[in-house]
Amino acid sequence: MERQRVVDLGEFGDAFRRDPHPVYARLREQGPVHRVRAPGADADQTTWLVVGYEEARAALADPRLAKDSTKIGTTFLDEELIGKYLLTADPPQHTRLRGLVARAFTMRRVERLRPRIQRVTDDLLDEMLPRGGADLIDSLAYPLPITVICELLGVPDMDRAEFRRTSTEVVAPTSAQTEYDSVVRLAGYLTELIEDKRCAGPTDDLLSDLIRTTAEDGDRLSPEELRGLAYLLLIAGHETTVNLIGNGVRALLTHPAQLAALRADPGLLDGAVEEMLRYEGPVETATFRFAAEPLEIGGTAIAPGESVLIGLTAAQRDDSRYPDPHRFDIRRDTRGHLAFGHGIHFCLGAPLARLEGRIAIGTLLERAPGLALDGEPGEWLPGLLMRGVRSLPVRW
């Protein structure tokens, strides 16, 4: 079989970071799967990228695509320093870890957070609104989810600005060295935090519950597994929601007819948030998968050991699934969108992200009736993992 040519995404420059959708659209026209080189990758570092909706949905649930990189003889930086966690594990290990976490991270626990999320949102807006203008990321989109996830996990107040820098370097690194340093800092912090909680005794927070959680057969999470889960929940539990709020508000403010429709009928909010997730979701590509055996995706042969990236951003603009996909339409039927993934790795924190997004955006629109953009957004995050801007200036 003829080897596919490599599409070097770095050749598209900053335009691809700002708006990858035209590139993904051209790739979809040529086929659902392509061999690509990510921006900044070495010449010999290529991967398969899935850009078609049906192929992406099927690949997300395909057990032949492993998440455990040790199956192909390699490990990633965070696995080496943090340990195994849900996104780097396959069944039966993944089944065990997810089952233990699900015992503590319940829908009831998330729903109990509703009053607190509303209070934090109101407090942040009380501080922001008298100024008449602000960076929405700094003033609302970042502090809300980091406050909520830290309180949920039982993480004491930390230097939030420092944590933001560290966390963002993990998911959207500007260099290999800063990524390494950031993961080392987080690993050390979480190791100390878990040990402190073990010594302090029971408290009513998720991390303490995870320390105490025991399955019927007596199974418990090891210290390394606890650190991995805390790392995943802390990073994924706020980075994605920051970008859900930022990207969602930006989409509304650049589509005034949709903003007016939502203001006229707040009952459209839930659907609007789902369209925000489809139109410009916070995760551009799912984390790496690896072919554990030969397989085909969309007619393309994937050899054992080859890596695969599933393009969530690309798949959600596939016109075979969503008519006129580049149109932002808060009344659209978004069922089946892939913003939170699909299959056994479907995002554990999806209910919390949705709740925070609905409260933050709904309250912002209610309390800032003249909300508008106040200049160009900051630079888009680097890399292929996260989709979001570093700043979003607004006024009201």
Residues 6+ apart with CB under 8 A from 194: 207, 211, 223, 226, 227, 230
- The proportion of the chain whose per-residue pLDDT surpasses 90, expressed as a percent, equals 65
pLDDT value at 389 more than 60: yes
Beta bridge partner(s), residue 372: 395
pLDDT value at 134 more than 80: yes
Which fold is adopted by the domain 6-395?
Cytochrome p450 (1.10.630)
Evaluate whether 288 touches 307 at the Cβ level (below 8 Å).
yes
pLDDT, tens digit, for every residue of 219-259?
Answer: 788 888 888 888 888 888 788 999 999 999 999 999 999 99
pLDDT value at 321 more than 60: yes
Among residues 21, 26, 100, 38, which one has the least CA distance to residue 383?
Answer: 38
Distance CA 55, CA 310 (A): 9
DSSP 318-376: -TTTSSSTTS--TTS--TT--TT--GGGS-TTHHHHHHHHHHHHHHHHHH-TT-EE-S-
What mean pLDDT comes out for the span 297-307? 95
Q: How far is CA 142 from the centre of its chain?
A: 14
77: pLDDT confidence band, cut at 50, 70 and 90? confident
Domain ranges for the chain, please list them.
Answer: 6-395
* pLDDT given at position 201: 73
Distance CA 147, CA 69 (A): 32
pLDDT value at 1 more than 70: no
Neighbours of 115 (CB within 10 A): 9
Distance CA 291, CA 247 (A): 32
Distance CA 90, CA 97 (A): 10
In the structure encoding, which two tokens stand for residue 36, read together? 């690509």
Among residues 107, 99, 208, 202, which one has the least CA distance to residue 153?
Answer: 208
Q: How far is CA 176 from the centre of its chain?
A: 21
* pLDDT given at position 223: 84
Element containing residue 161 per DSSP (H, E): helix 160-171
What mean pLDDT comes out for the span 373-383? 94
Among residues 152, 339, 351, which one has the least CA distance to residue 234?
Answer: 152
The answer to whether the Cα torsion of 264, 268, 273, 279 is positive or negative is negative
Q: Identify which has the larger pLDDT, 160 or 272.
A: 272
Among residues 74, 141, 140, 108, which one has the least CA distance to residue 306?
Answer: 74
pLDDT, tens digit, for every residue of 184-222?
Answer: 888 888 888 888 888 877 788 888 888 887 666 677 888
160: pLDDT confidence band, cut at 50, 70 and 90? low
* pLDDT given at position 3: 59
One-letter amino acid of 350: A
Q: Identify which has the larger pLDDT, 78 or 361.
A: 361
E strands present in the chain: 6-8, 33-37, 47-50, 65-66, 133-135, 289-291, 295-297, 300-302, 307-310, 372-373, 393-395
- How many degrees, rounded to 5, is the angle at CA 384 between CA 84 and CA 388? 105
The answer to whether the Cα torsion of 341, 314, 164, 259 is positive or negative is negative
pLDDT, tens digit, for every residue of 328-361?
Answer: 999 999 999 999 999 999 999 999 999 999 999 9
User: Do β-strands 295-297 and 300-302 pair in parallel, antiparallel, or remain unpaired?
Assistant: antiparallel
Whether the bond into 91 is cis, omega within 30 of 0: no
* pLDDT given at position 215: 60
Residue 92: HSE in the Cβ half-sphere, 13 Å Cα cutoff: 0
pTM of the model: 0.93
The angle, 0 to 180 degrees and rounded to 10, between the axes of the packed helices 223-253 and 143-153 is: 160
* pLDDT given at position 2: 45
* pLDDT given at position 198: 83
Length of the chain: 396
What mean pLDDT comes out for the span 313-338? 98
Among residues 153, 157, 105, 145, which one has the least CA distance to residue 359?
Answer: 145
Q: What's the chain's average pLDDT?
A: 91
* pLDDT given at position 84: 82
pLDDT, tens digit, for every residue of 13-71?
Answer: 999 999 999 999 999 999 999 999 999 888 889 999 999 999 999 999 999 999 998 87
